[in-house]
Structure 1
């Protein structure tokens, strides 16, 4: 079935498929073809079993490290620690399993979009059969409200219009015709003699020949693309995997050195083995994946309150480093609702007040002319608004263009239902695509009759002889006729869909064929699917944050460019490219130009995939927003796929990583801010955890190197790990965003998690923690003459307090803890106080002191411990106090 059906005449297509346009296929032939072509359904790809998906969760490198830590904990007899680690591993595996299992359902959801029934001719009889039983060559009937069950070539139609936004991205209903189209390479949206599976008939009726079913349809092509799309690891996943490998290698090296050094000094093998495995547990921050998950989960909860549902936790962090948003136009950047934005009446163009959401004339005469124009648009109309008491709400039943006219009338203060009662309809000449106009006859309470007509200006204007200006009916001379066409052309250049509205008094003897002659021009209406007001500001905010916005749409290039200009997306030198032009580009040419192309118009699903891949090939982190079925493959291919929750199809939602419940483009910008804040918090607790772990390992390593007794026993090492790696690290994960988080460019996707000096800060602070703890231990044993147990107690307290004070330093990379504010994160204060309480318990509670082999410390001991632990904070406080007057002077100088 490789024929270009849109290039064939209807009878040629029928002959090629060996069918009969009047009788359809015989039941026997239909049954034979069903066996040959298979059911009209989207096939499921081979799916990985749930067991395989679950087992795959344990193949992650960091998970293997956690399992090794579990074995070590059990060998030490730390059953509680081991059970905790196992719980973390299982929790992460379950989360990963649920996310992957749900993602696999995207193609299944796509199958649900196919129509459940079809009206088909079989052996000359009209039957309603399950859509899955359709075969190529079947003749089907389509009516308003039907979902098209297969790809078809039209045989005949009457005023047929379809909603194809879900497939092509076309924002308005598409008028269909029967005539063949000569261009074999016509884009999908321009094949107006074809109808496609999954689209909806919004108006008219038709008879059509089924040309493709199941996976051979355009919907089937999308299903193939969804399966082929590749989901890469997120930057966070890549960073954590690299971090895990580095930690394991360093841990094994350091532990090996400590154990070998101890053995060479004559320490017992068993004790050095316990010390080695304790250090391994301390060096590997086994809580890191859990804390990352918790930080992401808390961010997800905040995003839900901001109307964004995250389906995959790492997507939150991915948004934070997004550099490009490839956005669908219809329903994402625009309202997905045709709106009258301009009218031309009384010789002047009036724009809709976007802030007030109304159309109004500047003077009383123009206001009256506007009302007459809109009254004609309301009466010559077959749509019905859902609510007339809510200006701006253009929802209802009927053609989107007619709904827009009704909504404009409501905004101007008119009531369509009231006008329908005041001017009952007495006749109608329905709209047909060949005529490009519609006419109705009405009468008023005085029994006077009028005809109102609306249609394309170039078709209707030759039928007009008069024009209404300032309440007077004047002859439509050449000058006035030229003014009307100039206004029409100006609106068209702004990508508006323009309709002329005219009327005439109706005499009793006027035949229907004279209704559309000697008309009086009332004015022009210009409509478009306008940008969301919030989207305009969101595009500006994204640009300030270093994020580029690219529009990818199936709409006409002029319409797309006009919307892009209103959104502030098109600057000098930026380009608008059509799908056909994109086809003509080589990959190398697209790679050269992709940075300058801001709008892609008249595109198909493969085009969207190609654009996303082109950006990704240049090293960008790409977010793709979408709502229609046609967006699903690109949404899945992108680093972060964003689906619309209100207007989005289930297919796109299942393929996405995030769903916007308010369909608001601004929500994406808020999500980017949240993603950046979460990544900052991840860096904070990585800085904190690794500094602490470096300090713990270093104090043991240096003691062994210097020939000192072990400063900490294995159980004390594990206790340090418990009180410092838990609540304080979690508190850092919920730190509020730093000021100006959206005023900096996105971090490079290839950036190491240790970039921007983080590795140096970790090493420096870890050395300070380790050296200060070892110094207290050595002085207690030497000059101060304390016993080994009391010296170890002081070393334990110094090591823990040094790490707890570091919590406040880790909250900011470029400011001191006083500038950040000690109580700006109350959870951090509570976590530190809780850990201090646990430290005091193991020192002063007798049975805990016996278990952890500690001695009570005197007030003088605590003074030494405090100074050794907090001297960095003390120096920072002194520096801030001394520099504060200078900063105040500098600010005053700048203001002056």
Structure 2
């Protein structure tokens, strides 16, 4: 055979639309002999190894340099250079230490974040059974080539994408690849339409999936990066790591500070020169003031605040892998969630059993054999042992079965499945009624499941009972094989009316997204008659099962709604199943429908974007569809969290603002691509994490407000003094010291403030919202002005135009600016709650920070040998200490009084606005916005921009 007959990759992509004979012919392979060793060697030279390629690792030095490219860090480096030129080595050392610490922490986090493609390779099977020169042998999976004839059986990992050639009773578990919660029935003889979705290609096997039952032969059609798993790897590799909203906001703040510094240097320098100041002295003062305008403690405060928030999140079972993403949680307004294993338990569970005349509800979830039976008609609990028809249906289901359910090896309450999950659900059902599948006796004969027959049967010989055939399968197939029906412990003729009634019950169950199996039996059978034994059966009942929602998710979804977060389900599962789960959880309303992947392919980006706001469920979607949806949502200005556990979720998880992986059931691929891992696989943990994220952002805003208000106070103080023609009220070294002693530690104390109540009662902030908007900018200027006025008042009270008192007035102003900012930090703990309500001791970290900074400032003033270093030429007198203490408290008192006054006014206004809003807004029936999608009220907006 010649390698020139090998088909191009485009043919491989349509293998499902060709017969097995056609695919073998195109690939130049033989269904019985496979390829020769020489052909394999030639093809390996063309296609390379059957492995997923990785991007080259970024060198450590480049990662470190990347950390220095953030604008705030660059501004600090410029400040360090200027401080060094001015001879201020203490400030220079402090700034450089902050920069190095921040960069090291950033590199450390990044080194752990880029292993996704390496984890993908773990899903590749290490060996494969393949025909070479007509002989079946084991080879390394990486040595497979297109055209290789392979064999797979139950328990095998599929080593490459392959077209089925033959097989019997084959089912493949593709949950990690497609999101389908149950194994897929495979049919080698099927020839499908070219546009058939990935999850419906029942004549194909895909790398990364696992054979659940049966045995088959297949021909490899794609290897390495050409497989469906390889496509996901390529999608993952193309996702560049983007800046978080916090990083973008800090960059914008840094640009503003650069412009401010340049303007300050120019204005102060011009004013001082106009007053006759010396050039070098004036330049020294102007540059020092510009350096003082830069909040040196900002990067360290942000990093430590995020790290503290990370530790809080760990205690709430959320593990953040990228430090800068901690704050992003608070901005999330859309959560795109996979269904299987995220919203549901990924454990098939029987919900209902229907016999000839009675329906039973079954409680319990998952594979734990605990649960009760109750009548669907009366909702009363029943004892299964008193229900002969129910017991017979459960016996048949348990005996027609090969699965086992065993407890986990650890001390947890989890159970593991050995075999098909659907069959395991039947085993658990029987155990809930006190039946064991092991009691069926000897297995005499089996007819495995076949996708054409849609049924499976066994012939068993129970102890001391007649041997019987037990059959399970699709309702219509099983009913066609029945001539009798189990009723009240006896058998009766199976009429046409019985058939119509039972099919209606099965259709109604299926409409509620239950997977329906029928079970039937017959006693005194001859096990030697093969398929012919599957006739003249007795109908025993229907079993309805589902992958149930997690108990806590419904409450979590409700919390998302109240917090202004919109949940969307994006899954590879069947539309009806997905929609039923979404409605049960409150994600979708009864009038909403699901959009399928096939429908997505027919929509342009513009048309899809227009529908995104109206659709809550996207089903039968591929990895590419999920990625497209996440990108469109982000392009509309949303902050998107994407949850998932399977390989097919990984590209969308990485492309989202917050990628969330399941820690217990998630694949390594998804975990490595994510920014957050849920240690308990609990959707409710996401809501807890969002609450922490909002609290962290509030804290960052608080200490940035504190830092900039303090720096604004110094600038205003110096500017007004220059305008009034006073002598320099502070020396350059004193300005730099104030920036160092008042900025760092108190900002860190504000960063660990616990989240305030009500953080989840308002809408998420917009992605474009700055750290400091114009209202907050005016407010921090006003607060800084209070400190400046206090210092100006203190300076003039002592100075009063007497040059002999200049040294005394400088030390008084020096202390007022320091102590006013330290006391003001207490008021920065909350935007609107008074300090007396919060309690002085409720943030001991902040109190300790204020105490240390206070001691350092007192030491500068009172320790004699430090006076020459900081230009201090006098000690404050007793009366001057009274002035210092009194004026230092003015900013804090003013802010606290404004909280009390404006807080009462806003509370009254909020009540009036809410009353007006409730009377004026149209109801959903009148054409208004649904209650769960109403925009934020004006009152809430006012509360966010309150008097603080």
Aligned residue for 1:857? 876
Do residues 132 (structure 1) and 129 (structure 2) align?
no
Aligned to 2:676: 658
> 2:421 is matched with which residue: 395, 400, 414?
400
Question: What is the aligned partner in structure 1 of residue 656 from structure 2?
Answer: 638
Q: How many angstroms does 1:443 deviate by?
A: 3.5
Question: Are 2:832 and 2:903, in contact at CA under 8 Å, matched by a contact in 1?
Answer: no
Say whether residues 1:594 and 2:615 are aligned partners: no
Moved more, 182-191 or 835-844: 835-844
Where do 5+ consecutive residues of structure 1 fail to align? none
Kept after mapping to 2: 8 A contact 1:70/1:85:
yes
Q: Give matches, 1:322-333, under 5 Å.
A: 322-333=332-343
Residue in structure 1 matching 2:404, options 356, 366, 384: 384
In structure 2, distance between residues paired with 1:58 and 1:845: 38
Select which of 163, 166, 190 maps to 1:156: 166
3-state SS in 2 of match to 1:284: coil
CA distance in 2, matches of 1:885, 1:614: 43
Mapped pair 1:557 → 2:575:
yes
User: In structure 1, what is the Cα distance between the partners aligned to 2:430 and 2:732?
Assistant: 80
Q: What are the within-5 Å matches in structure 2 for residues 496-535 of structure 1? A: 496-506=514-524, 511=529, 513=531, 515-535=533-553
Q: Which residue number in structure 1 is paired with residue 624 of structure 2?
A: 606
Shift of 1:872: 4.1
Alpha-carbon separation, structure 1, partners of 2:187 and 2:633: 38
Contact 1:573 1:596 in 2 (8 A): no
**Counterpart contact for 1:691–1:765, Cα < 8 Å:** yes
CA contact (8 A) 1:551 1:599 kept: yes
Q: How does 1:141-152 map to 2 (within 5 A)?
A: 141-152=151-162
Contact 1:395 1:403 (C-alpha < 8 Å) held by counterparts: no
Distance 1:886 1:457, change over 3 A: closer
Question: Is 1:197 aligned with 2:207?
Answer: yes
1:799-818 equivalences in 2 (<5 Å): 799-818=817-836
| 1:293 has 2:290 as partner | no
How far off its partner does 1:101 sit?
4.4
1:237 CA displacement: 0.8
Q: Relative to structure 1, is the Cα distance of residues 741 and 367 closer, same or farther in structure 2, using a 3 angstrom cutoff? A: farther
Within 1, Cα distance between the matches of 2:91 and 2:892? 32
1:787 alignment partner, SS class: helix
In structure 1, how many angstroms separate the alpha carbons of the residues matched to 2:705 and 2:861?
Answer: 28
User: Is 422-431 or 233-242 further displaced after alignment?
Assistant: 422-431
Cα deviations across residues 611-643 of structure 1 (Å, max 9, x unaligned)?
111111211111111211111111121122111
Superposition CA RMSD, Å: 2.8
Q: CA deviation at 1:243?
A: 0.5
- CA displacement, residues 558-598 of structure 1 (integer Å, 9 cap, x when unaligned): 11111111111112553310111111111111121111111
Q: Equivalents in 1 of 2:910, 2:599: separation in Å?
A: 54
Q: Which 10-residue stretch deviates more, 191-200 or 712-721?
A: 712-721
Report if the CA contact (8 A) 1:816-1:876 is conserved.
Answer: no
Structure 2 residue corresponding to 1:166, chosen from 157, 160, 176: 176
Distance 1:879 1:313 in 2: 36
Out of 632, 644, 652, the residue aligned to residue 626 of structure 1 is 644
Match of 2:708 among 690, 713, 717: 690
Q: What are the residue-to-residue correspondences of 1:407-806 with 2, within 5 Å?
A: 407-410=428-431, 412-414=432-434, 416=436, 419-421=437-439, 423-506=441-524, 511=529, 513=531, 515-571=533-589, 573-755=591-773, 757-782=775-800, 787-806=805-824
Tell me, yes or no, if the aligned pair for 1:732 and 1:811 is still in contact at 8 Å: yes
Specify the alignment match of 2:940 in structure 1.
none
**SS of 1:382's equivalent?**
coil
Question: Is the 2:147–2:221 Cα contact (8 Å) retained in structure 1?
Answer: yes
Matched residue SS, 1:386: strand
Structure 1 residues 488 and 436 mapped into 2: Cα distance closer, same or farther (>3 Å)?
same
Q: Deviations over 1:137-166 (max 9, x none)?
A: 110111212111111110001211111111
TM-score, with structure 1 as normaliser:
0.94
Answering whether residue 248 of structure 2 is matched by residue 241 of structure 1, we say no
Residues 710 and 391 of structure 1, relative CA distance in 2, 3 Å threshold: closer
Question: CA 1:278/1:306 → structure 2, altered by over 3 Å: closer, same or farther?
Answer: same
Q: TM-score, normalised by structure 2?
A: 0.89
**Pairwise CA distance, 1:69:** 1.4
Contact kept? 1:360, 1:370, Cα under 8 Å = no
Return the offset for 1:885: 11
Q: State the match for 1:869 in structure 2.
A: 888
SS at match of 2:641: strand
Give CA deviations for 1:345-377 in whole Å, capped at 9, x if unaligned.
352332333599623133347655434322322
Distance 2:642 2:905 in 1: 48
8 A contact 2:364–2:372 mirrored in 1: no
Distance 1:786 1:405 in 2: 96
Query: Where do residues 61-210 of structure 1 align in structure 2 (5 Å cutoff)?
Result: 61-210=71-220
> Which structure 2 residue ranges, 5 or more long, are not aligned?
1-7, 375-380, 915-948
Task: Report the Cα distance in structure 2 between the residues aligned to 1:884 and 1:243, rounded to whole angstroms.
Answer: 29
1:359 equivalent in structure 2:
372
Larger deviation, residues 358-367 vs 827-836: 358-367
